Chain A
């Protein structure tokens, strides 16, 4: 059965690494629905958080093939209940809307915050799960929404302590190498 999975991949910082990872999804005909990457607490090690619609069985194989790449440390596949995750959305709305209806209630109910206000527009920010972000989007639509944009996922794996030990080992090892 297809459902949403979060794939996390720990990589070296190399040109083209994204392509190396995504091409493996491409070969299996799996569409990536979001992809977020940034450096971890270990300098030079990057973490990719990739969301896909697929099956566990297929993704285990994909993850195996990703791990085989030379510049990949580890790759994992997680079901929704194995990760704590967040996504972020920005909403640009006409300033006129501030005087209509109950914008304040929407902001309060959603724990959104105002990032900037200009004479023409203001920008709201909300973090949450996709459904929550879309929920606020729908509420804002009647108020002259100018633009909406959403990030990919950032995720922390509930059982990830062991791998993080490994990451720490890496940074220690690097420090040792520098000493030589």
Chain B
């Protein structure tokens, strides 16, 4: 709607993102106007020499575009990821050339692995200096080619609107992903006849495959004849917005649903047919029953090695039905007996009427039996310990209870991530934000910041390990400057816990470089004017979580937890799922 003020439109029926009357403006202004035309109102970024003309143009549009000044470009990328995954709008990042651009690399790789749309715009040295090792020149296109869905270098002002239009289309469509537009300084200061036309077609790119109804019929046939059908729900459910269809499918034929790490929150944790999380530290039932199911219905997931364990022994007894929008994922790891190359929502909508009502009570009961075993051997003492130091799981339980599972949970990487993913009880879709495929330590503080900006009405809780926090803690500066009300929970075991766990179990307790001698986190927060509290006692923790949630604005809660706790169940890396350990 905003661009109406900026870009007059000729006819009533023209696309809202399409303007008609050309104007002569600079490339830098064209960048901002193009973003506004794409309905962008928030940018995470950091200025520098080669992007200064764009920042100068931004100065005139502060009423339309809110620029959030981060403290490191990596923080901008993770913030954009959190913003997108919480709020649904494509995150936008600005960075300068050279080191500004190279600092985007981790976030781009993370977003690429986890199918997160993001548009990064980098400044670049003037076109005449390209390839000459000019000051702050780096081949950002070369560097980011394997970790972006698409990238482009723009060296002429007149190419800017088209490149940005294409960038948004590519980022959002099909299997989403990050894109990077590198704009040379001469293109920013040069003039063009500005006219914005949104992109909805690239002749070599078919983002949404045509649904093959025959494959859907085949899938339905296999599901209808299954005795032990089993749904593996992935991130694709959330991306395509197929949460209702997933629940409908599960309820109609009484099919148990397990979730991948990134699929969490697609189905409410408390749904009767929801059986838990897959993967190395997933739940017991979902893992062992992968080896019992006769039909596996994998939806929008990619059989990551953390999910499959040893591929050769993975679900050999089962027929595999794979619903997947990215053709390259079909038969990449696990061969599908029936592959449905399609958008999850479209495919499930077509599938539902073909599915017969069924009852698989006995099969579902096997998950519950496995649950009882896990509860007895793991969960009970994790969630409700009565002695010893505080446990990560009980802290997560309290956050889950006190937010009613309605907060957006943003986790970092390691033990606390697995614990939080296991024990938080998700109610609403898109309330789980974590670095899945890449496992990027330092992800959650900036991602939580972005999530809160993207979904300001939600409570956003970042659960972070002491190691992860120290990778991106400078973003407390952004949180203070921009007044972003994120709740930060540091689960501090003074160890790089997951690495230490592996050292204990697989490296003969040789704790090589995993002990952390930590600073005073509450003092650090105080330095950034973020209030906080440190808790070491079980008797204080419930009140401390409440205080955190009740305090307006940002808050940092440091919880000192058991030092040498391990996350179980565990499927050792590369082992068959049957090797899952409960202790």
Contacts and interface: CB of A to CB of B under 8 A. Distances in A.
A142 to B, nearest CB: 46
B210 interface: no
Interface string A54-75: 0000001100110111111100
A11 interface: yes
A16 to B, nearest CB: 6
Contact of A65 (B142, B204, B328): B328
Contacts of B141: 16
A40 to B, nearest CB: 13
Interface in A1-50: 11-12, 15-16, 19-20, 23, 27
A70 B204 contact: yes
B145 A23 contact: yes
Interface string A143-159: 00000000000000000
A173 interface: yes
Interface string A105-143: 000000000000000000000000000000000000000
B502 interface: no
B170 interface: yes
B50 to A, nearest CB: 19
B506 interface: no
Contacts of B202: 70-71
B326 A68 contact: yes
Contact of B204 (A12, A15, A64): A12
Given A61-B332, A72-B204, A173-B203, A27 B149 contact: no
A73 B206 CA distance: 9
B142 A19 contact: yes
Interface string B324-346: 00111011100000000000000
A98 interface: no
B146 interface: yes
Contacts of A15: 153
A103 interface: no
Do most interface residues of chain A lie in helix, strand or loop, or is the interface mixed? helix
B327 A67 contact: yes
Contacts of A12: 203-204
What bracket does the count of chain B residues touching chain A fall in? 10 to 19
Nearest to B327: A64
A174 B202 CA distance: 11
B204 to A, nearest CB: 5
Contact of A71 (B142, B204, B328, B331): B204
B511 interface: no
B484 to A, nearest CB: 34
B303 to A, nearest CB: 13
Nearest to B202: A70
B contact patch SS: mixed
Interface in B482-522: none
A70 B203 contact: no
B557 to A, nearest CB: 42
A52 to B, nearest CB: 18
A45 to B, nearest CB: 8
Nearest to A177: B203
A59 to B, nearest CB: 13
Given A12-B204, A70-B204, A27 B328 contact: no
Contacts of A11: 204
B304 to A, nearest CB: 15
Given A64-B328, A67-B327, A27 B204 contact: no
Residue of A16, A70, A71 ringed by the most chain B CB atoms within 10 A: A70
B332 A64 contact: yes
Contacts of A69: 150
Q: Which of B153, B205, B330, B331: most chain A CB closer than 10 A? A: B205
Nearest to A14: B152
Contacts of A73: 203-204
Given A70-B170, A70-B202, A70-B204, A20 B328 contact: no
Contacts of B332: 61, 64
B326 A27 contact: no
B204 A61 contact: no
B271 to A, nearest CB: 34
A72 B141 CA distance: 17
Contacts of A19: 142, 145
A174 B146 CA distance: 29
Contact of B203 (A16, A20, A170): A170
B223 to A, nearest CB: 26
Contact of A68 (B146, B327, B331): B327
Interface in B256-312: none
B142 A70 contact: no
A70 B177 CA distance: 12
B311 to A, nearest CB: 13
A67 B328 contact: yes
Contact of A70 (B149, B328, B330): B149
Interface string A167-180: 00010011000000
A150 B92 CA distance: 48
A163 to B, nearest CB: 13
The residue in A11, A19, A68, A71 that gathers the most chain B C-beta atoms within 10 A of its C-beta is A68
Nearest to A71: B204
A20 B202 CA distance: 17
A12 B150 CA distance: 13
A112 B145 CA distance: 43
A56 B141 CA distance: 31
Interface in B223-266: none
A70 B330 CA distance: 18
A161 B168 CA distance: 35
Contacts of B146: 23, 27
Contacts of B328: 61, 64-65, 67-68
Nearest to B142: A19
Interface in B314-372: 326-328, 330-332
Given A61-B332, A64-B328, A64-B332, A70 B205 contact: yes
A11 B205 CA distance: 11
A55 to B, nearest CB: 14
Contacts of A16: 141-142, 145
A5 B126 CA distance: 42
Given A64-B330, A70-B204, 13 more contacts: A11-B204, A16-B145, A23-B145, A61-B331, A61-B332, A64-B327, A65-B328, A69-B150, A70-B170, A71-B150, A71-B202, A73-B203, A173-B203
25 contacts: A12-B203, A12-B204, A16-B141, A16-B142, A23-B145, A27-B146, A60-B331, A61-B328, A61-B332, A64-B328, A64-B330, A64-B332, A65-B328, A67-B327, A68-B326, A68-B328, A69-B150, A70-B149, A70-B150, A70-B202, A70-B204, A71-B202, A71-B204, A71-B205, A170-B203
Closest 7 CB pairs of A and B: A64-B328, A70-B150, A68-B328, A73-B204, A65-B328, A70-B205, A12-B204
